[in-house]
């Protein structure tokens, strides 16, 4: 059957040429589902939208006909967001060029302190706000320093880079994701926690899953922990017989028990469903 969409020459749209193949049909359904989801999310976020909106319910009767309008609308939103990001990037410049900094952040390994801005730190973290409001920080400018003992100089630099820019280079993220996740948990920086969580989930593999499980347990992150346990169960032999597991098990006896239980429960479920 020739498809009126993906055929190389669909210029006679009459039976049977006004039919579509299975692949195009499934693709069209997926597009409609996505558009309806976007429409639903938009309706929740903007109850007072205008009647001629691209996302209005009056347009939903012909969703594919509105696809181009929706894409153009989303492109306009992207352009506006990029403009806003460029506008806010002044904070990054102020950090990197040390413009009007008013506090020094010292790492825990006696490395050199990094200059920062009290107002931005307080805005990013309620814990930092409380620290900066304490009497210990109300000293002359030359002594106006706080210490983050759990971070070395490179980790501290990456943390500040993220606090100012809202992002981090991939190489820095890969190198410092665990220390940054711990810092985000300790200093209550939710967006950094989510950023690190997404990175760990996206890069999960046999060589790092035990590290992810361990840090998820320390930070009580249920999503990370369940994902890591499921990954270990699916790759039990490769992980449990690895040298890394030999070092992991004595330090994390309770997690080793949880791995064993998860494996046995999975095996039981498989037998029942077999």
**Predicted structure pTM score:** 0.71
Reduce the DSSP state of residue 189 to 3 states and report it: coil
> What residues does 116 pair with on adjacent strands?
103
**What pLDDT score does 141 carry?**
41
For residue 186, what are the contacts with CB-CB under 8 A and spacing of at least 6? 127, 150
Question: Cα(first)–Cα(last) distance of the chain, in Å?
Answer: 39
What's the rounded Cα separation, in Å, for the pair 81 and 63? 25
CB atoms under 10 Å from CB of 132, counted, come to: 19
Q: Categorize the per-residue pLDDT at 128 as very low, low, confident or very high, splitting at 50, 70 and 90.
A: very high
For 35-67, write each residue's pLDDT tens digit: 777 777 766 666 554 545 444 444 445 566 677
For residue 191, what are the contacts with CB-CB under 8 A and spacing of at least 6? 166
Q: Are β-strands 103-107 and 114-116 bridged in parallel, bridged antiparallel, or unpaired? A: antiparallel
């Amino acid at each position: 059957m020739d498809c009126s969409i993906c055929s190389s020459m669909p210029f006679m749209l009459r039976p049977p040429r006004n039919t579509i193949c299975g692949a195009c049909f499934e693709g069209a359904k997926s597009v409609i589902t996505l558009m309806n989801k976007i429409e639903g999310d938009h309706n929740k976020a903007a109850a007072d939208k205008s009647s001629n909106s691209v996302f209005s319910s009056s347009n939903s009767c012909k969703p594919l006909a509105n696809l181009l309008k929706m894409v153009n609308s989303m492109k306009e939103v992207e352009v506006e967001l990029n403009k806003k990001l460029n506008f806010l990037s002044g904070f990054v410049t102020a950090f990197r060029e040390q413009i009007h900094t008013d506090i020094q952040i010292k790492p825990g390994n006696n490395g050199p302190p990094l200059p920062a801005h009290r107002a931005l730190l307080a805005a990013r973290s309620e814990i930092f706000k409380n620290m900066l409001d304490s009497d210990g920080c109300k000293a002359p400018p030359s002594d106006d320093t706080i210490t983050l003992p759990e971070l070395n100089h490179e980790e501290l630099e990456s943390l500040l880079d993220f606090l100012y820019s809202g992002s981090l280079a991939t190489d820095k993220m890969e190198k410092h994701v665990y220390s940054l996740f711990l810092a985000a948990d300790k200093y209550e920086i939710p967006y950094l926690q989510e950023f690190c969580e997404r990175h760990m989930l996206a890069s999960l593999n046999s060589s790092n899953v035990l590290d992810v499980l361990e840090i998820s347990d320390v930070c009580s992150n249920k999503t990370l922990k369940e994902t890591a346990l499921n990954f270990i169960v699916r790759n039990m032999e490769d992980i449990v017989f690895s040298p890394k597991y030999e070092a992991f098990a004595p330090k994390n006896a309770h997690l080793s028990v949880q791995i064993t239980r998860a494996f046995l429960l999975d095996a039981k479920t498989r037998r029942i469903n077999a």
